[in-house]
């Protein structure tokens, strides 16, 4: 935390940052990584001195916090702007250094020539050890300043961090982690979908050759933003590497009038010396305690029943009542009425924008259903897609000009809907009024806030406006939450298309994916867990035959998969057999029994062969652990390996049991189940043996998921 002669040092946990910020000089991140007990910045500077190399500039170009255009650094400049083609070579020098809090620094820089003030806002969370970087740009000139690109920061990468992982994905297949082959040059992902996106989640992981889930140095980066974004890694031929993340702008999108200020979204960055799982835990804690607002901290997350895959647009009054009865009887605690309840919304071609109950399907309004649901002891939740309008709607017929569009460019058809222009205050007022009216008139405590299309041409009054649109969306959600302080909101965008720390600052959970296929979900939830903790990941038990993949999976597997998340159901319970309802009910009861641990514990991903996904949570005091071992496809060897249980206390003894499915059977006998009674009363095993010797896993059929419980005795 010390400031020394033109340096600022931030240290928390196992992380240190050393920033160069001498007045009149360029700001720079001299060091970030493992904790330094007694950093001597002058010494670090001397130790890291580079030199002229033949064929290069006479003096090597020094990096800075943005590597802005005027620095002459190779690779993408972290800031690039101009005044109608002039004043384009910005170069920032420090003028002031402010310390609003011990773990935060604001480095104010000026460029007297281009008349730009750039302020770097950098914090190191003293409790969770996550770094937050934002850049503020002020136009201190007297003409308009067009910003083409402004990264939240340009962060240097440790040269030992050789392995790079990015995120790809698609609708119903989000959070796909992909290792990028070594390269010199750039790794770039640009998301222009107008939402966080399914295919370009703004996250990055970097590790050393030896880093795995449990050990080794690693770094992670995430942009807390729900609009367009750019993720970029430059590995320069001079050996230096930088990570940049920020908003992607369309041409001319961001122009500052004299005196105006632009602030980037936060870039969250973390370091761990103990592997990727430990790094995820930092992000989980930071999200839980520093990003989200804590309004529902004291409340257990209720089991959901969602009507979508049970009835789609077929909102039959009797069926919906009966589904509520059935849902309550198996343990649901919240009932969410999905798409189809309003206006002329009898299919996905009409009605969006007309936010009042359909006379046709709900002649007496929503009151009877809400009363029935709450009378059963469940909370009531309602689906909205506020940002959208169908051409076939009263709203569009009245206000055809309320949509985002680029003049002369045809709208690209996408689920038969257009995007409303939230940058117009009258549009947000309309949406607020509609939602406020419904929420005030009924006992509705939950909103599923959906967003189901990409935004290709986000023009407003001639200019591209997705940056402003995203800010307007945040403001609309905030306004609604202010008016309804107990309202909980789920961020859904055709599944996990809008999942990020920006939206989660204003909402309470994400709909992780539209795929309820448990095998898909094992991978999707594992991918998402790099940044998101279990309690914010919506995870539902879907129908036996998945509507999206056509795969048939057992109720036991579907339950085990949804159990490691914010659990819910999304299937037609009226068609389920008595036996399968019994299994579902038992699974829900099991989730409730362990919900506190699942939703507050320390999360671990295990290093396992490809055919296995194993994850778990351990309580803060290490007195209890819950782990899931899913045999996805079957193994190459005759037998599965052992599970080395991470995160326990080596000096404690644990009662180890397999608590799901019941009864648990192995393919052949005798097995570890008989040898240890793991499937029955359990067995007492020292923590050090569980961690170091490992527990043999019984021989399982593919598509089988075991849940192990470890209770300190
Ligand atoms: C997409 C969501 O992801 C689904 O869960 C469902 O709410 C549909 N939209 C409704 O249109």
Asked if omega into 661 is within 30° of 0 (cis), the reply is yes
Q: Which residue, by CA, sits nearest to atom 3 of ligand 1?
A: 494
Q: Which residue, by CA, sits nearest to atom 6 of ligand 1?
A: 308
Task: Say how far apart CA 348 and CA 607 lie, in whole Å.
Answer: 42
Task: Say how far apart CA 419 and CA 328 lie, in whole Å.
Answer: 36
With a 6 Å cutoff on the Cβ, whether 514 touches ligand 1 is yes
Q: How does DSSP assign 490-553, residue by residue? A: EE-BTTBTT-SHHHHTT-SEEE--S---HHHHHHHHHHHTTTS-GGGEEEEE--SB-TTT--B-
- How many Å separate Cα 193 from the centre of its chain? 16
Count Cα neighbours of 493 within 13 Å in the Cβ-side half-sphere. 25
> Residue 327: its pLDDT value, please?
98
Q: Which residue, by CA, sits nearest to atom 9 of ligand 1?
A: 494
Q: Which residue, by CA, sits nearest to atom 2 of ligand 1?
A: 494
Ligand 1 pocket mutation pick from 452, 453, 489 by most atoms within 8 angstroms of CB? 452
Query: Region 647-676: what's the mean pLDDT?
Result: 96
Q: Please check whether residue 616 is in contact with residue 709, taking contact to mean a CB–CB distance below 8 angstroms.
A: no
> Three-class SS of residue 707?
strand
Q: How does DSSP assign 232-284, residue by residue? A: EEEE-TTS-EEEEEEE---TT-EEEPTT-EEEPPPEEEEEESBHHHHHHHHHH
Q: Please check whether residue 654 is in contact with residue 684, taking contact to mean a CB–CB distance below 8 angstroms.
A: yes
Domain 605-712: CATH architecture, name and number where available: Sandwich (2.60)
Cα 448 to averaged position of ligand 1 atoms, centre (Å): 9
User: What are the residue ranges of CATH 2.60.40.1180 in the chain?
Assistant: 605-712
Task: Say how far apart CA 577 and CA 585 lie, in whole Å.
Answer: 12
Task: Say how far apart CA 495 and CA 492 lie, in whole Å.
Answer: 5
Query: Region 84-105: what's the mean pLDDT?
Result: 97
303-337 exposure pattern, b = at least 16 Cβ within 10 A, e = fewer? bbbbbbbbbeeebeeeebeebbebbbebbbbbbbb
With a 6 Å cutoff on the Cβ, whether 511 touches ligand 1 is yes
Instruction: Write out pLDDT tens, residues 190-232.
Output: 999 999 999 999 999 999 999 999 999 999 999 999 999 999 9
User: What are the residue ranges of CATH 3.20.20.70 in the chain?
Assistant: 304-511
Query: Region 81-92: what's the mean pLDDT?
Result: 97
Band (634; pLDDT cuts 50, 70, 90):
confident
Instruction: Write out pLDDT tens, residues 538-591.
Output: 999 999 999 999 999 999 999 999 999 999 999 999 999 999 999 999 999 999
Counting beta carbons within 10 angstroms of the beta carbon of residue 686, is it exposed (0 to 12), middle (13 to 18) or buried (19 or more)?
middle
Cα 490 to averaged position of ligand 1 atoms, centre (Å): 12
- List 97's β-bridge partners, or say none: 107
DSSP state of 291: I
Contacts of 107 (CB under 8 A, 6+ apart): 8, 19, 21, 27, 65, 94, 96, 97, 119, 120, 122
Cα 427 to averaged position of ligand 1 atoms, centre (Å): 23
- The minimum-distance atom of ligand 1 relative to the CA of 514 is 3
Residue 2 has pLDDT above 80, yes or no: no
Q: Please check whether residue 524 is in contact with residue 552, taking contact to mean a CB–CB distance below 8 angstroms.
A: no
Band (21; pLDDT cuts 50, 70, 90):
very high
User: What are the residue ranges of CATH 2.70.98.60 in the chain?
Assistant: 61-291
Q: Please check whether residue 15 is in contact with residue 35, taking contact to mean a CB–CB distance below 8 angstroms.
A: yes
With a 6 Å cutoff on the Cβ, whether 333 touches ligand 1 is no
Average pLDDT, the chain: 97
Fold of 304-511: TIM Barrel (3.20.20)
Cα 629 to averaged position of ligand 1 atoms, centre (Å): 29
Ligand 1 pocket mutation pick from 494, 513, 539 by most atoms within 8 angstroms of CB? 494
Percent of the chain scoring above 70 in pLDDT: 99
Catalytic residues: 450, 514
CB atoms closer than 10 angstroms to residue 659 = 17
Cα 440 to averaged position of ligand 1 atoms, centre (Å): 24
Torsions phi, psi of 316, nearest 5? Answer: -90, 125
Cα 495 to averaged position of ligand 1 atoms, centre (Å): 7
Ligand 1 pocket mutation pick from 196, 198, 308, 385 by most atoms within 8 angstroms of CB? 308
Ligand 1 pocket mutation pick from 492, 509, 539, 543 by most atoms within 8 angstroms of CB? 492
> Three-class SS of residue 163?
strand
Determine if the pTM surpasses 0.85. Answer: yes
- How many Å separate Cα 128 from the centre of its chain? 17
Residue 76 has pLDDT above 90, yes or no: no
**Domain 61-291, classified CATH 2.70.98.60, yes or no:** yes
Instruction: Write out pLDDT tens, residues 501-544.
Output: 999 999 999 999 999 999 999 999 999 999 999 999 999 999 99
- How many Å separate Cα 661 from the centre of its chain? 30
Instruction: Write out pLDDT tens, residues 121-138.
Output: 999 999 999 999 999 999
Q: Which residue, by CA, sits nearest to atom 4 of ligand 1?
A: 494
Q: List C-alpha distances in Å: 507 to 169, 422, 450, 491, 670.
A: 23, 18, 12, 6, 50
Q: Please check whether residue 140 is in contact with residue 39, taking contact to mean a CB–CB distance below 8 angstroms.
A: no
- The minimum-distance atom of ligand 1 relative to the CA of 383 is 7
Instruction: Write out pLDDT tens, residues 22-74.
Output: 999 999 999 999 999 999 999 999 999 999 999 999 999 999 999 999 999 99
- The minimum-distance atom of ligand 1 relative to the CA of 570 is 5
With a 6 Å cutoff on the Cβ, whether 494 touches ligand 1 is yes
Residue 632 has pLDDT above 80, yes or no: yes
Band (348; pLDDT cuts 50, 70, 90):
very high
> Residue 1: its pLDDT value, please?
47
Cα 489 to averaged position of ligand 1 atoms, centre (Å): 14
Specify the pairing of strand 537-541 against strand 566-569: parallel
| Most distant pair of Cα atoms in the chain: their distance | 82
Q: How does DSSP assign 444-508, residue by residue? A: --EEEE---S--S--EETTEE-HHHHHHHHHHHHHHHHHHSTT-EEEE-BTTBTT-SHHHHTT-S
With a 6 Å cutoff on the Cβ, whether 450 touches ligand 1 is yes
CA dihedral 269, 270, 276, 279 (to 10 degrees): -120
Cα 361 to averaged position of ligand 1 atoms, centre (Å): 19
């Amino acid at each position: 935390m010390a400031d020394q002669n033109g340096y600022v040092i931030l240290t928390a946990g196992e992380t240190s940052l050393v920033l160069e910020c001498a007045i009149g000089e360029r700001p720079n991140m001299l060091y970030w990584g493992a904790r330094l007990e007694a950093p001597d910045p002058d010494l670090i500077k001397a130790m890291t001195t580079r030199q002229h190399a033949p064929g290069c500039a006479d003096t090597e170009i020094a990096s800075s916090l943005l590597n802005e255009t005027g620095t002459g650094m190779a690779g993408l400049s972290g800031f690039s702007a101009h005044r109608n083609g002039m004043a384009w070579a910005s170069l920032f020098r420090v003028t002031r250094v402010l310390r609003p809090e011990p773990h935060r620094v604001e480095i104010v820089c000026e460029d007297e020539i281009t008349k730009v003030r750039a302020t770097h806002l950098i914090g190191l969370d003293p409790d969770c050890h996550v770094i937050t970087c934002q850049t503020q740009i002020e136009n201190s000139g007297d003409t308009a300043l067009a910003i083409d690109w402004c990264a939240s920061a340009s962060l240097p990468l440790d040269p030992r961090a050789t392995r790079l992982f990015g995120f790809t994905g698609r609708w119903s297949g989000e959070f796909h982690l992909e290792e990028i082959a070594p390269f010199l040059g750039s790794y770039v992902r640009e998301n222009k979908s107008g939402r966080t996106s399914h295919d370009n989640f703004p996250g990055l992981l970097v590790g050393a050759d030896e880093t795995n889930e449990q050990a080794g140095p690693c770094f992670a980066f995430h942009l807390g933003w729900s609009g367009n974004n750019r993720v970029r890694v430059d590995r320069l031929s001079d050996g230096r590497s930088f990570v940049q993340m920020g908003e992607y702008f369309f041409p001319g999108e961001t122009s500052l009038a004299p005196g105006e200020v632009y602030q980037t979204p936060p870039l969250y960055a973390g370091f761990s010396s103990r592997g990727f799982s430990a790094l995820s835990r930092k992000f989980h804690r930071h999200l839980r305690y520093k990003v989200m607002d804590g309004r529902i901290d004291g409340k257990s997350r209720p089991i959901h029943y969602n009507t979508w895959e049970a009835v789609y647009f077929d909102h039959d009054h009797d069926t919906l009542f009966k589904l509520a009865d059935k849902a309550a009887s198996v343990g649901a605690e919240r009932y969410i009425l999905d798409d189809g309840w309003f206006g002329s919304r009898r299919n996905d071609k009409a009605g969006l924008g007309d936010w009042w109950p359909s006379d046709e399907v709900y002649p007496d309004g929503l009151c009877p259903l809400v009363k029935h649901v709450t009378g059963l002891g469940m909370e009531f939740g309602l689906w909205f897609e506020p940002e959208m309008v169908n051409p076939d709607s009263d709203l569009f017929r009245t206000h055809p000009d309320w949509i985002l569009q680029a003049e002369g460019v045809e709208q690209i058809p996408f689920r038969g809907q257009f995007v409303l222009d939230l940058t117009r205050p009258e549009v947000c007022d309309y949406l607020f009024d509609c939602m406020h009216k419904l929420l005030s008139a009924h006992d509705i405590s939950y909103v599923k806030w959906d967003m189901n299309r990409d935004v290709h041409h986000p023009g407003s009054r001639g200019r591209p406006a997705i940056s402003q649109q995203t800010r307007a969306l945040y403001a609309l959600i905030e306004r609604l939450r202010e008016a309804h302080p107990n309202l909980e909101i789920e961020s859904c965008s055709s599944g996990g298309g809008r999942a990020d720390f920006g939206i989660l600052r204003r909402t309470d959970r994400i709909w992780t994916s539209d795929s309820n296929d448990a095998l898909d979900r094992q991978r999707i939830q594992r991918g998402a867990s790099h940044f998101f903790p279990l309690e914010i990941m919506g995870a539902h038990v879907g129908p036996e035959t998945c509507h999206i993949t056509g795969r048939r999976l057992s109720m036991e597997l579907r339950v085990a998969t949804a159990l490691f998340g914010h659990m819910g159901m999304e299937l037609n319970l009226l068609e389920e057999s008595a036996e399968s309802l019994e299994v579902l009910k038992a699974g829900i009861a099991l989730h409730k029994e362990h919900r506190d641990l699942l939703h507050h514990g320390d999360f671990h991903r295990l290093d396992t062969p490809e055919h296995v996904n194993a994850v778990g949570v351990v309580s803060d005091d290490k007195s209890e652990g819950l782990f899931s071992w899913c045999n996805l496809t079957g193994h190459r060897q005759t037998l599965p390996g052992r599970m080395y249980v991470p995160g326990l206390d080596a000096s404690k003894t644990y009662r180890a049991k397999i608590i799901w499915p019941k009864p648990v059977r192995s393919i052949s006998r005798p097995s570890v189940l008989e040898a240890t009674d793991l499937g029955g009363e359990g067995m007492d095993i020292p923590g050090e043996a569980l961690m170091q010797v490992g527990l043999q896993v019984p021989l399982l059929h593919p598509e089988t998921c075991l849940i192990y419980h470890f209770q300190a005795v």
